[in-house]
Chains A and B, each alone.
Chain A
Amino acid sequence: MSADRTPANKAVSETQLIARAQQGDEAAFEALFNTHKRRVYSLCLRMTGDTAEAEDLAQEAFLQLFRKISTFRGESAFTTWLHRLVVNVVLMHLRKKGLQQVSLDEPDGSREEPVKRDYGEDDHRLLGSVARIRLARAIESLPHGYRSVFILHDVEGYEHNEIAQIMNCSIGNSKSQLHKARLKLRELLREEAKNLAPEESELSGLDPER
């Protein structure tokens, strides 16, 4: 099984799978779905914070993908194509729900949000070890306005110019939303840590394998 996991083999087999899916081969559709389902569903879940919505959106994204797969010619990476499609499906859904993503009326960087800070005694490094589960939960409770930019940039790895294009905002706006989102997350995590018992706040270190 491990032999199939090298990047070169993966690319070759994905190309073959796409070709077979273009012929309507169910097994190829299923294999493509299995390869990408976790990342697609996780993105939907983080953007919406709701498992039922995430499931619907992941379904919609995969259906759009498979309906269009015959037009895929391999000019761009399949994964890039798929994830752009997922992001569009999710953002369209959030817009329909009336959830404003970026406050476009705000001039770029005109007003920096002051960093919330305590110059007091307990301003120690509360986030010395941010557990990934806690962070994932905190992201889901971010206000929608900050959440999308944060997820696209810090979780999904998009650049600000790509986000500006996707979200139809300026690059400066994307940058300032990202910074505010990080600060807000820090606040959320610090508040949560303060409410924990002291022994619980000493969370286990970040384990990249987990």
Chain B
Amino acid sequence: MSDQDNETTVPERAACREFERGLASYLEGGAEPSVLAHAKQCPYCAVILADLEQIRFVSHHLPQEEPPARLWANIRAHLEAEGIIREPVPAWRRWLPRPAFFPSSAPLGALAALALFAATLLVPGRSMENRSRLNAGTAGGGMVAASVAPIGPDENLTRTLSEMEEAYRSRESSLEPTIKAAYQRSLASLDACIHECSRHCEMEPGNTLARQYLVRAYQTKAEVLASALEYGGR
């Protein structure tokens, strides 16, 4: 510092200069008894010591900043392009805002029914694809209509799902607002996914990917509902 700064750096008090010389070491835990002793007598140096101790303390407890949401999307895109992601999360699961958010719960009996339903949907789906490759889908026409329209052959499943949904609606008012909002977002996303996949299945009966996504959307919806019911029932 230059001499022009004299009005703020007054080096005239020998005891204060001594304090300053020991200050850094004292703050780092060094044995500098004269620093504390002087601070007790000199209000000016006491202020400096208190300020620096506070800066040191508060710095250890600074709030952390949230990065923008696109950061993960960008990293993910790189990982995928570089082949580092070898087991991607299925696209249908990305419809869920935060799968890990939901309390994991035993999916109850409804899920067993859903697993069966999934099998009934998937198996004809695969055989249909083979058939359509062989003879342009003419032989399977009747079966396609039966297995796809309106959304699937298993009335038990659609009934179970709508019962679960009804039970959820009757309880959702008792859920915490943030939790309720998360469930609502997920269910809305899943319904959109189901709608979209159903449409693709109707337009292209041989589209096994759409069919798989549809099944998984149903499964996920049942899981979300089961989790919500269990959560709300506690």
Interface residues of chain A, those whose CB is within 8 Å of chain B, are 1, 23-27, 29-31, 33-34, 37-42, 45-46, 54-55, 58-59, 62-63, 66-67, 112-119, 123-128, 130, 132-133, 135-136, 139, 150, 154-155, 157, 160, 175-176, 178-179, 182-183, 185-186, 189-190, 206, 208, 210
Q: How far is the CA of A6 from the CA of B184 in the complex (A)?
A: 29
Q: How far is the CA of A59 from the CA of B68 in the complex (A)?
A: 11
Interface residues of chain B, those whose CB is within 8 Å of chain A, are 1, 5, 8-11, 16, 20-21, 23-24, 27-28, 43-44, 47-48, 50-52, 54-56, 58-68, 71-72, 74-76, 78-80, 82, 84-89, 100, 103
User: How far apart are B211's CB and chain A's nearest CB, in angstroms?
Assistant: 23
Q: How far is the CA of A54 from the CA of B67 in the complex (A)?
A: 9
Q: How far is the CA of A63 from the CA of B72 in the complex (A)?
A: 10
A-B complex: 10 closest residue pairs judged by Cβ atoms = A24-B86, A41-B67, A179-B24, A154-B59, A38-B64, A42-B64, A127-B51, A114-B9, A25-B87, A26-B85
Q: Across the interface, do A58 and B67 meet the contact criterion of CB distance under 8 Å?
A: yes
A186 / chain B contacts, CB cutoff of 8 Å:
48, 51-52, 55
Q: How far is the CA of A26 from the CA of B85 in the complex (A)?
A: 6
Q: How far is the CA of A40 from the CA of B11 in the complex (A)?
A: 42
**A23/B87 contact (C-beta < 8 A), A30-B72, A41-B67, A132-B61 known:** yes
A139 / chain B contacts, CB cutoff of 8 Å:
59, 62
Q: How far is the CA of A1 from the CA of B179 in the complex (A)?
A: 12
Q: Across the interface, do A135 and B51 meet the contact criterion of CB distance under 8 Å?
A: no
B60 / chain A contacts, CB cutoff of 8 Å:
154-155, 157
Can you sample 23 A-B contacts with CB below 8 Å? Answer: A24-B87, A26-B88, A29-B84, A30-B72, A37-B67, A37-B72, A39-B64, A45-B65, A54-B67, A55-B67, A59-B71, A63-B75, A66-B84, A116-B5, A117-B16, A125-B51, A127-B51, A130-B58, A132-B58, A135-B55, A135-B58, A155-B62, A186-B55
A23 / chain B contacts, CB cutoff of 8 Å:
86-87
Q: Across the interface, do A115 and B51 meet the contact criterion of CB distance under 8 Å?
A: no
Q: How far is the CA of A136 from the CA of B62 in the complex (A)?
A: 7
Residue of A nearest to B43 (CB): A123
User: How far apart are A127's CB and chain B's nearest CB, in angstroms?
Assistant: 4
Q: Across the interface, do B87 and A26 meet the contact criterion of CB distance under 8 Å?
A: yes
A58 / chain B contacts, CB cutoff of 8 Å:
67, 71
User: How far apart are B73's CB and chain A's nearest CB, in angstroms?
Assistant: 10
Q: How far is the CA of A139 from the CA of B78 in the complex (A)?
A: 32
Q: Across the interface, do B79 and A114 meet the contact criterion of CB distance under 8 Å?
A: no
A210 / chain B contacts, CB cutoff of 8 Å:
63
* Residue with the highest number of chain B CB atoms closer than 10 Å, among A24, A26, A114: A26
Residue of A nearest to B7 (CB): A118
Q: How far is the CA of A74 from the CA of B10 in the complex (A)?
A: 54
Q: Across the interface, do B58 and A62 meet the contact criterion of CB distance under 8 Å?
A: no
Q: Across the interface, do A30 and B89 meet the contact criterion of CB distance under 8 Å?
A: yes
A27 / chain B contacts, CB cutoff of 8 Å:
89
Residue of B nearest to A138 (CB): B55
Q: How far is the CA of A111 from the CA of B84 in the complex (A)?
A: 51
* Residue with the highest number of chain A CB atoms closer than 10 Å, among B8, B43, B66, B76: B8
**A135/B59 contact (C-beta < 8 A), A26-B87, A123-B44 known:** yes
